[in-house]
Amino acid sequence: MSPIRGPLLLLARSGRVKRLVSTMPVSAGIVHGYVPGEDTPAAVQATAGLVDDGLRVTLDYLGEDVTDRAQADATVEAYLDLLRELSLRGLTRHAEVSVKLSAIGQAIPDAGAAKVAIENARTICRAARNAGTTVTLDMEDHTTTDRTLAALRELRQDFPETGAVLQAMLHRTEADCRTLAHEGSRVRLCKGAYAEPAEVAFTDKVDIDKSYVRCLKVLLAGQGYPMIATHDPRMIDIASSLASRYGRAQGTYEFQMLYGIRPDEQKRLAEDGESVRTYVPYGVEWYGYLMRRLAERPANLAFFARSLVSK
């Protein structure tokens, strides 16, 4: 793993650096490559384009670690507005939403935070269902995994279509995959984007990849709907072979990739008959998201630095 990954992930949580660079508009430089816009119309336009290309979409209204109630409520409103517009444009058959619990209340420093987050998630799930679509709960760093899975269990009582994310880099994830590989369950498997300590996570790329394959086996052999979120050509090949080995027809699982990363591969897989979903983040709170993408691809740092200088 790149030696610069850790420092970049630390910077992703730095309020000072965030304030320094966040005045840059989404339209500037490298940000635009990963985030199509700042508001609902831009998100809906990007969705329509991807759907025209034969892709499905999941949309993330950017924001995380929100510590005040008003901002959490504003995030809920943004999702409701988005779902209304997607529905009006007839896009909810192809587009769902991804939600971070820390953006809608889980990070408020208050004993009732978990309850606020679940109530807000419930509001978004209800709107998604009314619009004919679903919600997937994004997964954040390992300190939030138990709370997020507890929220998932609670939400699934009323909204069993709600999806979850598991991160192959965590030691616990193979066991979590077994728990969630049941009928009706939707699980997005990713490698994990956060800086995690060796006590809870694999830190070597080879070990993370081996864990990813073990988790793929559990999910593809199980009864749920696996959502295979990776850009890694090796993982994609292995997933395709395992899908055949476990008798999975195309459409009983899907591939997922991030907006702006390997777009040609996304289209190629879709043309081969696979279900492919693009994760589309939008909004002004792009800083943490961009830093995690740069940590995965330090080669892009020079472009980022240049777009800052030309601001």
The residues annotated as belonging to the active site are 138, 188
Q: How far is the CB of 1 from ligand FAD (least distance, A)?
A: 9
Q: What is the number of other CB atoms lying within 10 angstroms of the CB of residue 91?
A: 22
Q: Does 290 bind ligand FAD (CB under 6 A)?
A: no
Dist. CA 66–CA 168, nearest whole Å: 26
Identified binder of ligand FAD from the candidate list 64, 96, 138, 274, rule CB under 6 A: 138
Can you tell me the distance from the alpha carbon of 167 to that of 171, in angstroms, rounded to the nearest whole number? 9
- Interface stretch with ligand FAD, choices 39-47, 101-109, 183-191, 196-204 (CB under 6 A): 183-191
Nearest approach in angstroms of CB 111 to ligand FAD is 26
Q: Is 296 in the site for ligand FAD (CB under 6 A)?
A: yes
CA distance 225 to 141: 23
Q: Does 265 bind ligand FAD (CB under 6 A)?
A: no
Residue type, 60: D
CA neighbor of 95 nearest in space, from 136, 60, 133: 133
Give the footprint of ligand FAD on residues 192-211 (CB under 6 A).
192-194
191 is a site residue for ligand FAD (CB under 6 A): yes
Going from the C-alpha of 215 to that of each of 163, 174, 191, the distances in angstroms are: 16, 5, 10
* Position 148 contacts ligand FAD (CB under 6 A): no
Residue choice 101, 124, 257, 270 for contact with ligand FAD (CB under 6 A): 257
CB of 177 to ligand FAD, least distance (A): 15
Question: What Å distances lie between residue 24 and 35, 45, 61, 81, 306, CA to CA?
Answer: 13, 22, 18, 24, 12
Instruction: Report if residue 214 touches ligand FAD, rule: CB under 6 A.
Output: no
CB of 188 to ligand FAD, least distance (A): 6
| DSSP one-letter string for 45-66 | HHHHHHHHTT-EEEEEE---S-
Interaction of residue 190 with ligand FAD, rule CB under 6 A: yes
Choice from 79, 159, 253, 279 touching ligand FAD (CB under 6 A): 279
Residue number with CB closer to ligand FAD (94 or 191): 191
- Phi/psi of residue 20, nearest 5 degrees: -65, -40
Residues β-bridged to residue 201: 170
- Interaction site with ligand FAD (CB under 6 A): 138-139, 165, 167, 188, 190-194, 229-232, 256-258, 261, 279, 293, 296-297
